[in-house]
Amino acid sequence: MTFNVQFTPLAIALVAFCLIRNADAAIGLDRTRVIFDGSKDAVSMSITNNNTQLPYLAQGWIEDEQGNKISTPLTVLPPVQRLEPGKNSQVKVQALPAAKSLAQDRETVYYFNLREIPPRSDKANTLQIALQTRIKLFYRPASIVPSQQERANPWQQKLTLTQVADRYQVHNPTPYYVTLVDAKNSKSGKTAAGFEPLMVPPKGFLTLGPTAAALGATPYLTYVNDYGGRPVLAFSCSGSVCKVDLDASPRNE
């Protein structure tokens, strides 16, 4: 037997409105990325229950670059905790002995996950949504942790662009991951057609989506720094190679 169910536009709008209203995360995290200093045993983050009426559980775990859940060489403590309404707490990423076997000449990327678990509702026909935060976690070996002096000249300024066919390749000679979130042909221009955010691996390269013609001879790339800021790099091209114009780019983070 087949049933035909029809929803009026008003009903659809009401459902969408309710889902949007309930999509605000109750458990908040104090950062958008985690930098794990390899010279330390752990890194702590603050979490907050933004709901002032209900307690929530906060569940944390780590995934590798392929999205597989892992328990070593890094782990989350505590894996689950209860936050009372409007209260703060901390969650810690702890290094295990296996962390010493990670590459020591470059960063390794993981993903930190934090899921909120709402209390069970005593009301009938209630839709509950458990939201999840997923951010990048960079394990940075002690051997490459930058000094304050080195931070005055961001390593992202060492990026170069090389035109291959009709695209630019981004070359990253540094031991750090570099996340690019925008590409324009001028400082005040619009995002170039075809651009998608990308994360260039240490000592590696990736190809930008826009054509070289769309970015022109003075590309502007925006990256994300350790603190979630978004400085802009101005490039100057000569022939098929583009280098950062230090006079037009930020000198510190």
List the pLDDT tens digit at each of the 253 positions of the chain: 333 434 444 443 333 333 333 457 899 999 999 999 999 999 999 999 999 999 999 999 999 999 999 999 999 999 999 999 999 999 999 999 999 999 999 999 999 999 999 998 777 766 667 799 999 999 999 999 998 888 888 999 999 999 999 999 999 999 999 999 999 999 999 999 999 999 999 999 999 999 999 999 999 999 999 999 999 999 999 999 999 998 876 554 4
CB 215 within 8 A of CB 236: no
Rounded-to-integer distance, Cα 160 and Cα 145, Å = 22
State whether residue 76 is helix, strand or coil.
strand
Burial of 130 from C-beta contacts in 10 A (0-12 / 13-18 / 19+): middle
Cα Dmax for the chain: 73
Residue labelled with tokens 């990026």: 159
Q: Could you give the residue range(s) of every CATH 2.60.40.10 domain in the chain?
A: 9-144, 148-244
Count of CB atoms within 10 A of residue 2's CB? Answer: 3
CB 36 within 8 A of CB 96: no
CATH number of 9-144: 2.60.40.10
CATH number of 148-244: 2.60.40.10
